[in-house]
Structure 1
């Protein structure tokens, strides 16, 4: 039996109207050559300063892919750059080790068109060749924020970056992914700003993204440190002072990786403070409900 991870033979995609797939990557050439041909829409690849020949390899093997090479790693801000270049009504995000299931880009766009206040659709995620349900998906499906009648699924105050389709005008209106938080954990600040602006995020399990985690991923401790850094900077930018203090205290108590992330946040504190804008009470109430 052929693995679902085997590099597919390229064929022209049946492109859904108004959708572009934006992929950000750094030093994942082989992963990209396997996943990029799977996307059933025009693709914009934003390369975060790769040193492994990614840009030349993709341009040679997949000339239909638009490649935007950056001189340095700007983290998730690369997605904002790619989305601005795309200019389509909707943008689906994917990582270099993920792709949207056949037909589901069109399905997701139809859901967004049918729900005009929906800014972000979070698909379900199947992991690996064995297609295990990502453990975060049941958490999203059981969101305590419920499922209002005007949404196609449970309301969220966050999403999975590699499994999201966004309404481009809403995404750009709140600044997209910012240059302070970078990656990972970049979704939280964006989610808070969308909610503050009156937009919705929903989990829709009838739409699927496949994720085959790259073998070149960072170790767990490094990821914990990076997420801790993002949480602290997001809190500084959007939460009341008492919540910032709680976030810092939680990082100190959590362990060495989180404390390392806290230290790494310090150089970016001035930039975070310049962007500080506390979200409305209604959004804070939702955050507290989720925390409980």
Structure 2
């Protein structure tokens, strides 16, 4: 790992309490579009791109290997601010949202994660995940800044840095796809509030194609099962494995390979968190 530079904060910075962290690989054109829209100090973590990246206005951290989602952990470790906002190389926070989120964190000391409303594409379609969060299926606890969530989109959350690091960040073993669920469980298990705040807005401009959907579905199934093995009760594990066997049988080989690791790191959730997850599963 090498740190390429630590530039001055960008012009138009709206808060000095937030760092934007972006993990990326082989997408320099998208970065050049979105990085100028980050109105806070920005750290780009290059997940071992084939060619070295150079993006003006951001601190660059170049990794020697592709860590997947765990590359964000490296960015958080390099940040020097109390709050960290995540973005993808094809997303950015709308002006005012970063400063607004920092104020929310100051006013709500139990909040560890704020999930923004996501608008997709040039037309600004509401992301279905945001629509589900807005329905508040598990309610809003007293003192929380918005409806509780137990999952999120990584490109649209801000975290309290110390709480994120204490929870271990994103689990490297999961690599990518579905890595958010385990972190959400662990933050909630530590007693933090995780909230959806629709006054915070993220724009997501995904490209229409380019990923192997079959490989993604297999990895998502594997990660869903490993997360269950790590935190959920036996009945949920059994249902999850049965679903994987029915829909993604090839993922069972991946799960079997990682089963000893998952069992060594198993830590069941507190009853209130498990109860909230069961309620979510029925809505």
- TM-score, normalised to structure 1's length? 0.89
1:73 maps to: 66
1:6 maps to: none
**Cα distance in structure 1, aligned partners of 2:46 and 2:259:** 26
* 1:18-74 deviation line (CA, Å, top 9, x unaligned): 1000000111111111111110011111111111x252x32xxx0x31111111111
Contact 1:31 1:214 in 2 (8 A): no
CA deviation after TM superposition for structure 1 residue 244, in Å: 1.4
Moved more, 264-273 or 145-154: 264-273
**Cα distance in structure 1, aligned partners of 2:236 and 2:127:** 29
CA deviation after TM superposition for structure 1 residue 118, in Å: 0.8
CA deviation after TM superposition for structure 1 residue 161, in Å: 0.7
Change (3 A) 1:217 1:119: farther
Question: Secondary structure of the residue that 2:35 maps to in structure 1?
Answer: helix
2:223 maps to: 230
2:3 maps to: none
- Equivalent residues in 2 for 1:48-197, closer than 5 Å: 48-51=47-50, 53-55=51-53, 57-58=54-55, 62=56, 64-197=57-190
* 1:167-210 deviation line (CA, Å, top 9, x unaligned): 01111111011111121111111111111110111100011000
Contact 1:29 1:54 in 2 (8 A): no
Contact 2:16 2:41 in 1 (8 A): no
1:291 maps to: 281
Contact 1:122 1:163 in 2 (8 A): yes
**Structure 1: which 5+ residue stretches go unaligned?**
1-10
After superposition, the CA RMSD in angstroms is 1.5
* 1:60-93 deviation line (CA, Å, top 9, x unaligned): xx0x311111111111111111101113100000
Question: Secondary structure of the residue that 2:224 maps to in structure 1?
Answer: helix
1:278 maps to: 268
2:213 maps to: 220
**Cα distance in structure 2, aligned partners of 1:102 and 1:25:** 22
1:265 maps to: 255
**Cα distance in structure 2, aligned partners of 1:84 and 1:195:** 21
- What count of residue pairs does the alignment treat as equivalent? 273
Contact 1:126 1:134 in 2 (8 A): yes
**Cα distance in structure 2, aligned partners of 1:234 and 1:161:** 17
Change (3 A) 1:265 1:26: farther
Change (3 A) 1:86 1:217: farther
**Cα distance in structure 2, aligned partners of 1:87 and 1:277:** 31
Question: Secondary structure of the residue that 2:118 maps to in structure 1?
Answer: strand
* 1:258-290 deviation line (CA, Å, top 9, x unaligned): 323333333333322222111111111111111
CA deviation after TM superposition for structure 1 residue 215, in Å: 4.5
Contact 1:232 1:262 in 2 (8 A): no
User: Which aligned segments of 4 or more residues in structure 1 are displaced greater than 4 angstroms?
Assistant: none
Question: Secondary structure of the residue that 1:37 maps to in structure 2?
Answer: helix
**Structure 2: which 5+ residue stretches go unaligned?**
1-9
2:6 maps to: none
